[in-house]
Amino acid sequence: WLENRLPAPATRADTRGTQTRKKEFHHSSRQPLVGDWTPTDNVVFMTNYTKAMTEGYRENLKNKTLTVVTIGGNPYCMEKEEKERTDENSDVQYKGYVVDLIHEIAEVLGFKYTIKLVEDGSYGRKNERGEWNGMIKELIEGKADIACADLTITYEREAAVDFTMPFMSLGIGILYKKHKKEPPRLFSFMSPLAMDVWVYLITSFLGVTLFLFFVARFSPYEWVNPHPCVKEPEELKNNFSMKNTLWFTIGCLMQQGCDIMPRSLSTRVLAASWWFFILILVSSYTANLAAFLTVERMVNPIESAEDLSKQTKIPYGCVKSGSTEAFFRNSNFSTYARMWSFMESYRPSVFVESNTKGVDRVKKGDYAYLMESTSIDYIVQRECELYQVGALLDSKGYGIATPPDSPYRSIISDAILKLQEDGKLHMLKERWWSGKGKCESGKDTQKVQGSASELGLANVGGVFVVLAAGSCIAIFICIGEFIWKMKNIPRNERDHICVELLREIKYVICCYGNTRPIRKVSDVDGVIQPGNGLPFMPLTGYQDMNKDEEKERDLVRYDVDRDDTPQKFTYSNDSKTNIYEADYYSNYKASDV
């Protein structure tokens, strides 16, 4: 190579004064001096040899026509429509990111180019015999000068051809179809709470109702005089019948209240526990119901590559003879190795000929496609029913491939670096990725993570503990009230406390009714006390009226005339006289006279 390019020899004197023939060799007559050759010292290159050679190659590249091989695919290289085509030259028959990138590089370096599609439609893969296919094969065989496409830089390809610096960074992602939004259910109001919470709530409601019923019947302070005006009643009444108790608990549950309220300390403790239980549960239900009504819920069967590898219901694959296939085939990571074993053994085959066919298969449903994240970003901007699952599986880049030891690699890398510094690479990506997108968001993973979730038993289990603790405390207080009641009865008028306790439990369990005969209790002075026998807890509504101070009331009735004149009643006392007029239907009207 040097002998064919050596110019005429030149004679120079060395430092020792002897004449030695030296040859100054150039790459061409237009290129600068790169070194000297002598028979004794052989080749002596100049210190700026690399820079000089690069400048020489750059000058040689100007006005030269390069053959660019690429592969079809959105948005990198697409055929123009009929109305967009021209007959000037072949390169204008295509459009896309790669076409614009080659055009920008050609503007910087000043060369011409022609674009052709790869013959076998493959990126490049080495088979068992060490033979390459696709664009890598055409570069090795000299059918193309450069290969510009969404061609991933890999170790295996780098050993066969040369790559420029990456013009785009990316990683492997998972493309999947969104699940359709579920229509509202008839009982969607039950969604804020899990099913087990609803079961426990109904059980607690019935349990508290029965518990309050028995505690109220067992407590002596819930048996009151049904007629407060009667000083010595014959029987006492308990307002907490089964129907009233059920109405009380359901009124509290619906936060509507009830006209029956507990009187004794034990029933009040139990009621307070039930109220606290309802307060927390209803507040949690209301807050979570608002989230369910405002947040769109999306159910996704897979959230990451780990989820994808642990199931076999949804098949997944990638493009055939691509870098993604090589990544899984050569990976030693357990998850990716398991995924490759599944893809290789699954039938029918999960591998596709191109990204377009892979996307079409994803649209049909029940298929996940593994592809570069840049292509996924482009697709999800235009196909709103698709989205990217999880994070990227790796990190790599796209580069322009050249034949081995090509002098144009460093020159094209410098041009790519200049385009990156000028912001043109970013402008090209925005033009072809986001410029014509119709979807609002390319990724819905954040929406899935931010959706509302039902409250399980672990979230609201504490209120059940509070309710159970309040019920237990109410039992002990109720027993204490009964013992206190028995202590106030003389020993000769009652049995042993345990016997009385068992008798009372039997009376409560057998449900003999809401009334019971009053028990006459003698105090220490032998005076019979009416009611419940507690001087410090008088009967509700009872007033000891002094008959000497009571005013006499007269009621005078006049007969009704035949012409239906109103009846007249006269009520007299010391201060005034009221005349009540009543019509035929006894609707009274009072006036002071």
Known binding residue 503? Answer is no
Known binding residue 324? Answer is yes
Q: Are 497 and 483 in contact (CB under 8 A)?
A: yes
Known binding residue 50? Answer is no
Beta strands in 150-217 (DSSP E): 162-163, 168-170, 172-177
316-317 and 368-372 strand pairing: parallel
Tell me which residue of 108, 79, 104 sits closest to 91, measured CA to CA.
Answer: 79
Q: Which residue has 């390809």 as its token pair? A: 157
Reading the block at residue 15, the tokens are: 């430092």
- Amino acid letter at 462? G
For the chain, how big is the Rg over CA atoms in Å? Answer: 48
19-25 and 35-38 strand pairing: antiparallel
Burial of 561 (0-12, 13-18, 19+ CB in 10 A): exposed
Reading the block at residue 84, the tokens are: 């967009």
Known binding residue 323? Answer is yes
65-70 and 146-147 strand pairing: parallel
235-238 and 396-398 strand pairing: unpaired
Q: Which residue has 């016997």 as its token pair? A: 499
Q: At what angle do helices 457-487 and 195-218 cross, to 10 degrees?
A: 10
**What is the spatial distance between Cα 236 and Cα 222, in angstroms, rounded to a whole number?**
9
Q: Using the 8-state DSSP alphabet, how is residue 540 labeled? A: T
At 115 the three-state DSSP class reads strand
**What is the spatial distance between Cα 389 and Cα 369, in angstroms, rounded to a whole number?**
10
Known binding residue 12? Answer is no
DSSP string of 446-503, one letter each residue: HHHHTS---B-HHHHHHHHHHHHHHHHHHHHHHHHHHHHHHHTS-GGGS--HHHHHHH
Q: Which residue has 């120079």 as its token pair? A: 12
Annotated binding site for L-glutamate: 152, 157, 323-324, 372
Binding site as annotated, residues: 152, 157, 323-324, 372
